[in-house]
Amino acid sequence: MKIQKLTIIIPAFNESEILVNSVHRLLAIEDQVAEQHADMLGMRADIVIVDDGSTDQTWSLVEKLHKENPRIRGLQFSRNFGHQAALLAGLQEAVKTADFLVTIDADLQDDPEKILDMVSMAMDGDEIVYGVRNNRESDTWFKRTTAQGYYWTLHA
């Protein structure tokens, strides 16, 4: 598979304290992907941040990041519609120009370095690649239990 463009979608709600660092880390990962697969990619990459009605400085940071780097784009909701709505909006926007989409939370609680592995898997022919967290020690008991139930049901 030849990937023409990679887009990372970040739903964001009141993420001003961490957004800049997260975006810079993801840009570096996109650059690594392009470098590692230069022979197979027509690689272009960007990041779409969906501000889900934040009440802090998240949107002004998105605007600042875009001015510094046009690879960063943003969508702004008029109010908080929720994480899933932000993901969907980001996917609907990104699919217009990209053929490989990755979603990740702004706090990077899931290992963003796995994006490198995911792209490699796609390059090897996998049409859908998704990550499943295998360590939930930092999650609350409720979150751990509901996640385990979900994945048990998914594999049943």
Mean pLDDT by 10 residues, the chain (156 residues): 86 98 96 80 84 98 97 97 97 94 94 93 87 68 68 70
70-86 pLDDT, tens per residue?
A: 999 999 999 999 999 99
Q: What is the pLDDT of residue 134?
A: 72
Name the residue among 79, 102, 103 with its Cα closest to residue 11: 103
Q: What is the pLDDT of residue 42?
A: 61
- Domain 5-155 belongs to what topology? Spore Coat Polysaccharide Biosynthesis Protein SpsA; Chain A (3.90.550)
Confirm if 4 and 99 have CB atoms less than 8 A apart: yes
Q: What is the pLDDT of residue 137?
A: 65
Confirm if 117 and 37 have CB atoms less than 8 A apart: no
